[in-house]
Amino acid sequence: MSKLKNDTFLRALRREPTDYTPVWLMRQAGRYLPEYRATRERAGSFLALAKTPELACEVTLQPLERYPLDAAILFSDILTVPDAMGLGLGFVQGEGPRFERTVRDEAAVKALPVPDPEDSLRYVMDAVRTIRGALGGRVPLIGFAGSPFTIACYMVEGQGTRDFLHVKTMLYRRPDLMLELLDRIARATAAYLSAQIAAGAQAVMLFDTWGGVLADGDFQRFSLASMRKVLEALPREAERADGRESIPQIVFTKGGGLWLEEIAACGADAVGLDWTVNLGQARARIGDRVALQGNLDPMVLMADEAQVRAQALRVLERFGPAAPGVGHVFNLGHGISQFTPPENVAVLVDTVHEYSRRQRSGN
């Protein structure tokens, strides 16, 4: 595997000095790009696209061909793990993911296997290996998984949900069963991310999309504790052809600003923030304990170019000047919308790079 030409993203996660603020975008490979839509049409379906390593590699690299982003993120889906556990994942046009089987009782929980990542999830590892080779050391590759609680939501509900009826019913009626389910998912997720690291991922991220729907106390018990289990089981270094490299960890809880200090203490190197959090206040709250990632509202990218620039500068100014032991990775506060004009992404990336370079040089 080639030596990295641009390691700014990794240095920011490690809170080392950088010449500028690195930037990547959640869902940066996706439907807002016409070339992605063309590749998906060739694949025939989202799942076929995700399960074909060469096509997953193609769409992973597409945004890097357009924009000078500082990291690539594996093209995949957080629901690959429950699919490998035998729940039968499918995508309904206009309705999103659905599982053929749900997990709502003791028998269903106990029947769940911990899949071998190099067996039922081999296509993901092959995609990681293919992408690393195609990147040629241009930028680092991020591997990822859903948090155990977020995955549990889909497994119990069987699909996306607004009221979390079944998962919260299990959580309050049978907290012991929910904890057993989360433990199985945590073990499967740790094995999955460890395999991604072995295959070549240079940083890993846990997406806790639904942790923010929990009550205070429940978040700590059911979401944060299970994420900590995953992180503790992951290797912090990987052996590569050119030596050992450290593997930074990022956690992102949408709606988790209330618990920022507790999330920052979970063992990760960086904490992602959604757009509801003031970045400067977040920096003041946690000091130099972890790097921060975020946190532009994705809908800003629907505005005109002047507003995109202004809002990007606002995020950078709120974070404040670079300092020893402090790290910031610019990102959105959630995934990019499929309706985003691609030209606005170019404006955003260029603005972040140009302004942060001037910030550091004092010009």
Which candidate in 15, 27, 132, 184 is catalytic? 27
Helix, strand, or coil (residue 346): helix
Which candidate in 14, 31, 122, 187 is catalytic? 31
* Closest CA relative to residue 277, chosen from 287, 269, 285: 285
Which candidate in 11, 15, 40, 132 is catalytic? 40
Which candidate in 7, 11, 70, 77 is catalytic? 77
Q: What is the pLDDT of residue 1?
A: 60
Q: What is the pLDDT of residue 312?
A: 98
Are 109 and 184 in contact, with CB atoms under 8 Å apart? yes
Residue 70 a catalytic site member: no
CATH number of this structure's domain 8-298+323-334: 3.20.20.210
Residue 31 a catalytic site member: yes
Residue 154 a catalytic site member: yes
Q: What is the pLDDT of residue 118?
A: 94
Which candidate in 32, 36, 67, 154 is catalytic? 154
Residue 139 carries which DSSP code?
A: S
- Residue 353, CA distances (Å) to 24, 67, 274 in order: 11, 11, 21
Residue 358 a catalytic site member: no
Q: What is the pLDDT of residue 242?
A: 81
Residue 289 a catalytic site member: no
Q: What is the pLDDT along the chain (363 residues), one digit of tens a residue?
A: 668 999 999 999 999 999 999 999 999 999 999 999 999 999 999 999 999 999 999 999 999 999 999 999 999 999 999 999 999 999 877 778 999 999 999 999 999 999 999 999 999 999 999 999 999 999 999 999 999 999 999 999 999 888 999 999 999 999 999 999 999 999 999 999 999 999 999 999 999 999 999 999 999 999 999 999 999 999 999 999 888 999 999 999 999 999 999 999 999 999 999 999 999 999 999 989 999 999 999 999 999 999 999 999 999 999 999 899 999 999 999 999 999 999 999 999 999 999 999 988 876
